[in-house]
């Protein structure tokens, strides 16, 4: 992960189950949409840095806000920018869901249609003379291979969905907690 992306990914304390590839994907979206000036991202970086000192969470959030306030940050602009980044992550999820759907259609539905076509061909060939029996056997082998490919594709897509959903959920939860922390303490 590049230096900027690594700094952004350090903003969120994710569990070991969080998927690194999904995290990089979402951090690139945040970097691409990073707003000018001192906003939620810079606030969160300052907050995280202050947590490394012997300060409690409340003192850290207040100190980070005070720093931002000297640069024109208000509670309203901080909450607006946190919500903006939350929407950026949501948009990435919508795009991911669309890509996932496309992958399903290409790798599963298309293969199922191909499987059905082969089954239809087998039915027609069973009515032909013994000369076509070899061709029927070959189609049957193809169908068996398609089932394995479908199972493998489903497993891979579901694994990607689970990893993304888990990482997405953790980031959204932390954004919501940060907004709650800001609302309670600033």
Instruction: Identify whether the C-beta of residue 148 lies closer than 8 Å to the C-beta of residue 24.
Output: no
Summarised one tens digit per residue, pLDDT across range 30-62 is 999 999 999 999 999 999 999 999 989 999 999
1 has pLDDT over 60: no
Q: What are the start-end ranges of the H helices in 33-109?
A: 40-51, 57-69, 75-104
Query: Is the whole-model pTM more than 0.75?
Result: no
Locate 60 and state its tokens: 């850290």
Domain total of the chain: 1
Summarised one tens digit per residue, pLDDT across range 83-111 is 999 999 999 999 999 998 898 888 887 78
Q: Which residues contact 90 (CB under 8 A, 6 or more apart)?
A: 172
How many angstroms separate the CA atoms of 95 and 162, rounded? 16
Q: Containing domain of residue 126, as a range? A: 3-185
Helices 133-185 and 110-126 sit at what angle, rounded to 10 degrees?
Answer: 160
Instruction: Give the distance between the most distant pair of CA atoms in the chain.
Output: 88
Q: Give the model's confidence band at 3: pLDDT under 50 very low, under 70 low, under 90 confident, else very high.
A: low
Question: Would you state the pLDDT for residue 2?
Answer: 57
């Amino acid at each position: 992960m590049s230096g900027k992306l690594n700094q952004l990914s350090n903003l969120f304390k994710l569990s070991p189950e969080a998927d690194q590839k999904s995290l990089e994907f979402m951090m690139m979206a945040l970097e691409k949409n990073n707003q000018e000036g001192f906003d939620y991202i810079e606030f969160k970086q300052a907050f995280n840095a202050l947590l490394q000192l012997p300060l409690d969470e409340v003192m850290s959030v207040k100190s980070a806000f005070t720093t931002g306030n000297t640069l024109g940050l208000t509670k309203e602009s901080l909450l607006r920018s946190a919500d903006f980044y939350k929407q950026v992550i949501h948009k990435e999820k919508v795009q991911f869901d669309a890509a996932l759907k496309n992958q399903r259609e290409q790798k599963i539905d298309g293969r199922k249609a191909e499987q059905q076509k082969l089954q239809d061909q087998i039915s027609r060939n069973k009515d032909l003379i013994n000369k076509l029996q070899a061709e029927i056997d070959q189609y049957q082998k193809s169908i068996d291979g398609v089932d394995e490919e479908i199972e493998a594709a489903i497993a891979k897509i579901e694994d990607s969905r689970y990893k993304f959903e888990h990482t997405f959920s953790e980031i959204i939860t932390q954004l919501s907690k940060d907004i709650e922390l800001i609302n309670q303490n600033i």
